[in-house]
A and B are shown apart, each in its own frame.
Chain A
């Protein structure tokens, strides 16, 4: 059995012994609002924290991603990247106060992704507690502008501007322990904005209803035939519009994603949706605009890639069943650069995208142990083939 596989189960209790440091980092980071494009304060705190933990080099790259580098023992070995996205879905004006109880922690943005960031920033202290040194430099990067319209810009910039080769990558997400993502579907994320003209009471009865127009777009989109192979789907994720119950809606917006493991199929389905939008726009007296806000190419490691096999082994050795599923995240940027990488989840929880997102504390220690195990696996050479 590989050395790291044997060691990982023994890490769990040793990590738990410094739980107050880890939980403190999660709470202090999580209580700093960080909606996409407004991550500056969280990024500053991230850097301050790494600096306090005596990380060898702490700085921001040109895209304001905060980065800490723990120097390895071998100057000639490329670095291992460990990343977590800093931004959350929540706006600044809600109360970012976390509640810690005996067995769980809760608060807005906790699972996506304050836990991931808190664990990332705790790694220097965890390495110290476990008395671990690595051959590779370990690059700890909090990436900005990941979710939604952010379109993973921070992550794209980080890898685009990194001057040398990268040995492998680990992406940390708060939720859910057991996930082992090693492939990423292609994705086009779009918004359709429907405007039916300036508000004018006298014409209201004759005017089209923006919500009904979007409803027509949805109906026609759902009639599209999607193949089972290549695996393809359309997710209608977000809709908003109108003023109040009794007024015809002058404006409405629809957000959706097309996902497929084939980039060609993705383009084809997107083209069909564009035709639907153009047709409805043409036939009604409205302004209907389709805009792409984000996109990713389909990328993957094979299940028999040594990194995937090693990561699965680490997770199983901790008594957890690894679950493979596609992800649209930082992972896809690693893979599209030809860098072997996986995404791992830290703990279990519920209400992921709600203000009272809640994490179970006890499973977190295994979640952290698996991250350490996978870093050790990469450092032992599983990505070097």
Chain B
């Protein structure tokens, strides 16, 4: 395996802390940038994420042109709070209503392509407890400074906010180490250089995102890397060390369901590019077991694995692009 990519395309957020410089490049290149938060019941963290990004990267340094929240139908006060602090908030189900709605992070990210106006789109999870504007400018930096980079992905030290509120040593990334990295090692060793392939924070050019399909759920991160690698090559991808990210811990069972979706996505990608031949379709149910009164009972989660097609194939999107182009020219 050629591991030069690891050294040439790996950055640290501090490489891009000169925000004046980034703003100058952005203006010179006449590029607009959108920040998108996909949300579902994030009332504890969303406001903090919005005000810090707005203060630092809009009011003080005009790096971002818009902050958009795409919500999956929160039952807490996420939507109200996000609006109160000045984000443009949309319900995923209201976007492209002609299409059957799905629920999932990938669905929100895909629909954000239709809603946002930026040439670059930054996607950040809305549950980051130690949010800092480096999460955005660290990902934007490589895209603005290096012409060949079209997609940048975060990696971090990953402490988890534990039940006793004390930090535990890095315990995140179990799905990465037990599922994704073995798969990459088996089939695409070059991709093992991506330290955290399923991290939830990434940024890229619209011209890339609009040409790839989006699984609606957890498979989005894996498929995105895989598709960009297949279509444009590893050199268009960068990874950025964002230091520490504190997030919610997830149960092993929840991670199991995540792993199921990632495996399913991976299998479909392997088949579509002819690496494996699935003689039978995979099943759509993740079966886990609970013990109830000393009896094992199956807990079945239906996971259909829907995928949205590349946004550029959606007529409404093409019309919107056309109108925007006409307005600008």
Contacts and interface: CB of A to CB of B under 8 A. Distances in A.
Interface stretch (B49-57, B198-206, B263-271, B276-284): B49-57
Interface in A21-46: 21, 23-24, 27-28, 31
A27 B51 contact: yes
Interface in A75-130: 93-95, 97-102
B45 A24 contact: no
Contact of B161 (A23, A95, A100, A102): A95
A101 B51 contact: no
Interface string B115-158: 00000000000000110100000000000000000000000000
Given A28-B132, A101-B81, A102-B77, A20 B51 contact: yes
A18 interface: yes
Interface residues of B, number: 26
Contacts of A18: 59
29 contacts: A18-B59, A19-B51, A20-B51, A20-B85, A20-B86, A23-B51, A23-B55, A24-B51, A24-B56, A28-B52, A31-B130, A52-B60, A94-B166, A95-B129, A95-B165, A95-B167, A97-B246, A99-B44, A99-B45, A99-B48, A100-B47, A100-B48, A101-B43, A101-B47, A101-B77, A101-B81, A102-B47, A102-B77, A102-B80
A20 B165 CA distance: 27
B55 A24 contact: yes
Given A94-B165, A95-B165, A20 B54 contact: yes
Nearest to A108: B165
A20 B54 CA distance: 7
Select the residue from A18, A21, A31, A95 with max chain B CB neighbours within 10 A. Answer: A95
Contacts of B43: 101
Nearest to B166: A93
Interface in B160-174: 161, 165-167
Given A31-B130, A101-B81, A102-B84, A93 B51 contact: no
Contacts of B132: 28
A82 to B, nearest CB: 21
Given A21-B60, A97-B246, 11 more contacts: A19-B51, A24-B56, A27-B52, A94-B165, A98-B48, A99-B45, A100-B85, A101-B77, A101-B81, A102-B77, A102-B84
A97 B129 contact: yes
Contacts of A98: 48
A93 B81 contact: no
Contact of A97 (B59, B84, B86, B161): B161
A36 to B, nearest CB: 20
A23 B129 CA distance: 15
Contacts of B59: 18, 20-21
Interface in A1-31: 18-21, 23-24, 27-28, 31
Nearest to A97: B129
Contacts of B55: 20-21, 23-24
Given A21-B60, A93-B166, A94-B165, A102 B81 contact: yes
A18 B54 CA distance: 10
Nearest to A23: B51
Interface of B: 43-45, 47-48, 51-52, 54-56, 59-60, 77, 80-81, 84-86, 129-130, 132, 161, 165-167, 246
B167 A100 contact: no
Interface residues of A, number: 19
A9 B87 CA distance: 28
Contacts of A101: 43, 47, 77, 81
Interface in A269-315: none
Nearest to A95: B165
Nearest to B82: A102
Nearest to B45: A99
A332 to B, nearest CB: 35
A72 B129 CA distance: 39
A21 B61 CA distance: 12
Contacts of B165: 94-95
Contacts of A93: 166-167
Contacts of B81: 101-102
Interface in A299-339: none
A181 to B, nearest CB: 30
Contacts of B130: 31, 97
Closest 5 CB pairs of A and B: A24-B55, A100-B47, A20-B55, A97-B129, A20-B51
Contacts of A94: 165-166
A338 to B, nearest CB: 39
Contacts of A99: 44-45, 48
A94 B166 CA distance: 6
A97 B84 CA distance: 21
A28 B131 CA distance: 9
B21 to A, nearest CB: 14
A222 to B, nearest CB: 37
A94 B164 CA distance: 9
A316 B194 CA distance: 60
A21 B55 CA distance: 5
A53 to B, nearest CB: 9
A109 to B, nearest CB: 14
Nearest to B48: A100
B316 to A, nearest CB: 33
Contacts of B47: 100-102
Contacts of B60: 21, 52
A83 B132 CA distance: 26
